[in-house]
A = this chain, B = another copy of it.
């Protein structure tokens, strides 16, 4: 699944990589919005036209950077299951905590992306990636209740990602182990009395 594309011209690989690195380095110094395309190509030592043959705009270039991160993340997410054919939903929640370790390992890059509002697109992209995995490869056993499987996945994944990005935005205030522990606690938590009707005073 990783090497499925046809061979790419080496010039393209070089150009794109140089542009990505140039943007990342610039983003360490100034805000994404304040960076011009002209600035990027000058830092990367390429012609401005070259940029436009590969990307429509700054955002597309940044999207490419994020895609690299996503691939890395997904690999670590799938890793525990690579020997098995399928996921089991009750193992998913317990193992999704592995994501915290991955994020923590790549903390530097995430910190850079955080400075712009780009991080929102990254979150969305992560959601799509994780959802695809869970919906395609997961086995849903709890067919006894009438919970919509897709909505359930949306609910759980957004909760998880919300937790992760809150953790990133807070500058990794807690260690990964604490975040994992809290996630497990909240998954197992439910309101003191389950109510379908609610009576106001």
Residues of chain A touching chain B, judged by Cβ–Cβ distance below 8 Å, are: 33, 57, 59, 80, 90-91, 93-95, 117, 120-121, 123-124, 127, 142, 145-148, 151-152, 154-159, 161-163, 166, 179, 182-196, 198, 200
Give A6 Cβ to nearest chain B Cβ, in Å.
Answer: 29
6 closest A-B pairs by CB: A158-B162, A159-B159, A120-B120, A188-B194, A94-B198, A154-B166
- Chain B residues with CB under 8 Å of A59's CB are 33
Question: Complex formed: what's the CA distance from A154 to B148 in Å?
Answer: 23
Question: Complex formed: what's the CA distance from A190 to B151 in Å?
Answer: 15
Number of copies: 2
Cβ-closest chain B residue relative to A185: B147
Question: Complex formed: what's the CA distance from A186 to B192 in Å?
Answer: 14
Known: A158-B163, A159-B156, A162-B157. A151 touches B194 (CB 8 A): no
Known: A117-B121, A158-B158, A159-B156. A145 touches B189 (CB 8 A): yes
Known: A147-B182, A158-B163. A190 touches B187 (CB 8 A): yes
Q: Which of B127, B145, B186, B193 contacts A185 (CB 8 A)?
A: B145
- B185/A191 in contact, CB under 8 A: no
Question: Complex formed: what's the CA distance from A4 to B75 in Å?
Answer: 51
Question: Complex formed: what's the CA distance from A147 to B104 in Å?
Answer: 21
- Chain B residues with CB under 8 Å of A193's CB are 90
- Chain B residues with CB under 8 Å of A147's CB are 182, 185-186, 189
Cβ-closest chain B residue relative to A89: B191
Question: Complex formed: what's the CA distance from A33 to B121 in Å?
Answer: 15
- Chain B residues with CB under 8 Å of A91's CB are 198
- Chain B residues with CB under 8 Å of A183's CB are 155
